[in-house]
Amino acid sequence: MQFTADEITAIWLSLKVATIATLASLPLAIACAYVLARKEFWGKSIVNGLVHLPLVLPPVVTGYLLLVTFGRRGPVGSALESCCGIVFSFRWTGAALACAVMAFPLVVRAIRLAIEAIDPRLEAAAATLGARPSMVFFTVTLPLALPGILAGAIIGFAKALGEFGATITFVSNIPGETQTIATSIYSYTQAPGGDDNALRLTLVSVAIAMLALIASELLARRIMRKGADL
């Protein structure tokens, strides 16, 4: 199987975008999941709704909203560019942002379920042993939620790899900058004679997805075993 230079670039870019999107959004996802699982506050259903919005909105709408707010003339986009020199629109960073936003509800959901399954009486026990709330979180809640966090990260990574609608709306489909596996398959299917190329990339897509799933399975098993050995 021979790949063209553009295809190899698209594969690497997909992996880079999905990895960065997953890792960068994970701390925020854990924080959101913890607050939604453990805290009661005014406006909780609004926060919950906002987190889940990308799941129910058409991806093209999410992409357009990102363009309007994080584009170079958008309120957040222009502020970020002038203060820190970060540009999202039509860059690979924008593709990562779009993927992170689209995957966010799934990641939060997986982690929230894991945190809700932890017995709060264990956290109370840690507090009586002298642990401040932040230490309770890092020494009890977080380690016990680890399998769920891992599952959430894998789901997020898979979702980010497959993201299409929001990405193409927000950052377009520029080879070498924002063209991922998904958008490049789309390009091939739009041109005559592109079927072979599309099929090759499809196989790559399947292979990456399978590897991610197997890796998560192995990691989960290792965590379970480690938990048993400790």
Q: Among residues 17 and 111, whose Cβ is nearest to other proteins?
A: 111
Binding residue (CB under 8 A) for other proteins from 58, 75, 176, 227 = 227
Spell out the alpha helix ranges (H) of the chain: 5-38, 44-56, 59-70, 75-84, 92-116, 120-128, 133-136, 142-162, 165-171, 181-190, 195-229
Q: Rule CB under 8 A: choose which of 31, 56, 122, 218 binds other proteins.
A: 122
- 150 makes contact with other proteins (CB under 8 A): no
Q: How far is it, in rounded angstroms, from Cα 9 to Cα 162?
A: 16
Q: Does 58 interact with other proteins (rule: CB under 8 A)?
A: no
Q: Is 130 in the site for other proteins (CB under 8 A)?
A: yes
* 172 counts as binding other proteins under rule CB under 8 A: no
**How distant is the alpha carbon of residue 86 from its chain centre?**
19
Q: Is the Cβ of residue 1 or residue 230 nearer to other proteins in the bound state?
A: 230
CB 67 within 8 A of CB 169: yes
Answer yes or no: are the C-beta atoms of 103 and 159 closer than 8 Å: yes
**Tokens encoding 121:** 């009486």
List the x/- string, 81-120, binding to other proteins by CB under 8 A.
--------------------------------------x-
Q: State the residues that interact with other proteins by CB under 8 A.
A: 119, 121-122, 124-133, 135, 139-140, 143-144, 227-230
